[in-house]
Structure 1
């Protein structure tokens, strides 16, 4: 079995920025889940996306090196980028069928725009042992799929130090921890951490914005916003609140393409 593979830097307009994702095309029979998981482990990126065309739609799945995940923004953006640029899809919309339902990616003003479900977080309590892992105390704590910690300012997000060992030792389960605040130049900024994962700080996390967009939209009274994810690689996202849906737009750049050979 030979599988085309691509690597894409998502939410960036230049190489070595944004969040790298592997994208694998399944043209015939799907490999077993065990093989898909091993490919994700071998790639050793935050996510590997697998997609297969079915008439005018695509089935899409995402795997971290640890497990299959229910929603991933940057790997969806990367998959759409490959379909448009390498598979030369002539339309301006791509329809994905996923475990999170139908996801649509649209070409819009030079960007690729994701249409994702909104995940408004609710007030929550985090265990004191987990909070001790953060060098700065958040002013508010929320949770949807991920915990969301709200801080006073962008400088706190930039200067935040997180003890990965303390978090990884906790019984955390799936999901991650969003750290966010109002931005100085952007409307809001964030960083995203995954306790126990091979990539502890994710460079740019589209799915985390499914919670931040409705939260900040309500707080700021704005429908359209710009967001920066303040990782070392940086990410730029144009965000729109649509009630039960959120729109997340960004760029993507192809880094490499090749072939996986499986006996």
Structure 2
């Protein structure tokens, strides 16, 4: 069996920036074990598998090198990039078993606007010891949603300088950790750490902005925000916060197209 594999740099208009994702379009689902083995072999932060449904939507699943992930924004962007190119369309509807329907529209400038469910975090009163032990700089407060703990800092330099202890952060599984602060050039910046479920630090994490954007929208009193994930590769996002949704807009660029032999 041969499968076509696409590798896309998401949340960037330049190669070697943003976050890389592999995309594999299927006619029917492979076994979970095989998809995980493929994702492990790819060894990028996520591999997205899609399969078209009878209603024209595309079911999508995401795998890190370690496990299946229940929601991934940058790999959804990468999958939309491939599907829009292959089918000559400007809108993709993704169906998921974990976060419902995800709608992605391709804009005239080549960017992609992804409408996701809003996942606003709530403040944590009892902060886990492992979280504090795992961060070299103590946050001013901590919040949490279904995906991660949010470590809030006063300024962006603290986020840039932050160091983590993975053995401590792994104790927080299944939750990951995002560090965030207001920014001078952007409305806010962030960094995302997920040693228990994917790797040390994710380059650009679309899903966590469904929690970051609502938080900072409340702090700044506005619903349109610019964001930057301050990883080694870096990535830019535009966020629009609605009543129940967050729309994330970013670019993507192709790195490769190849063949997997099974």
Corresponding position of 1:138: 139
Q: Which residue of 1 aligns with 2:105?
A: 106
Structure 2 unpaired stretches of 5+: none
* Compared CA separation, residues 31 and 190, structure 1 to 2 (3 A): same
Deviation at 1:175, TM superposition (A): 3.1
Aligned to 1:201: 201
Q: How does 1:238-253 map to 2 (within 5 A)?
A: 238-253=238-253
3-state DSSP of counterpart to 1:66: coil
CA contact (8 A) 1:214 1:243 kept: no
Partner of 1:2: 2
Deviation at 1:90, TM superposition (A): 3.0
Cα offset for 1:197? 4.0
TM-score normalised by length of structure 1: 0.94
Residue 157 of structure 1, aligned match among 132, 156, 159: 159
Tell me the secondary structure at the aligned position of residue 136 of structure 1: coil
In the TM superposition, residue 261 of structure 1 has moved relative to its aligned partner by 1.4
**Cα distance in 2, alignment partners of residues 59 and 129 from structure 1:** 36
Q: Which residue of 2 aligns with 1:46?
A: 45
Root-mean-square deviation over aligned CA pairs: 1.2
- Report the 3-state secondary structure (helix = DSSP H, G, I; strand = E; otherwise coil) of the residue aligned with 1:120: coil
Number of equivalent positions: 257
Write out per-residue CA displacement over residues 156-184 of structure 1, whole angstroms, 9 at most, x where no aligned residue: 1111111223323x2x2223101001111
Cα distance in 2 for residues equivalent to 1:83 and 1:198: 25
- In 2, Cα distance between the equivalents of 1:149 and 1:60? 30
The one-character-per-residue Cα deviations of 1:58-106 (angstroms, maximum 9, x if unpaired) are: 1111011121111100000000001122x1x233211001121110001
8 Å CA contact retained: 1:45, 1:199: no
- 1:23-52 CA distance string (max 9 Å, x none): 01102x311111011111111111110001
Counterparts of 1:201 and 1:255 in 2: how far apart (Å)?
21
Partner of 2:66: 66
Structure 1 unmatched runs, 5+: none
2:92 aligned counterpart, secondary structure: strand
CA distance in 2, matches of 1:175, 1:10: 23
CA distance in 2, matches of 1:134, 1:195: 13
Deviation for aligned residue 1:126: 2.6
Judge conservation of contact 2:67–2:197 (CA < 8 Å) in 1.
Answer: no
CA contact (8 A) 2:6 2:23 kept: yes
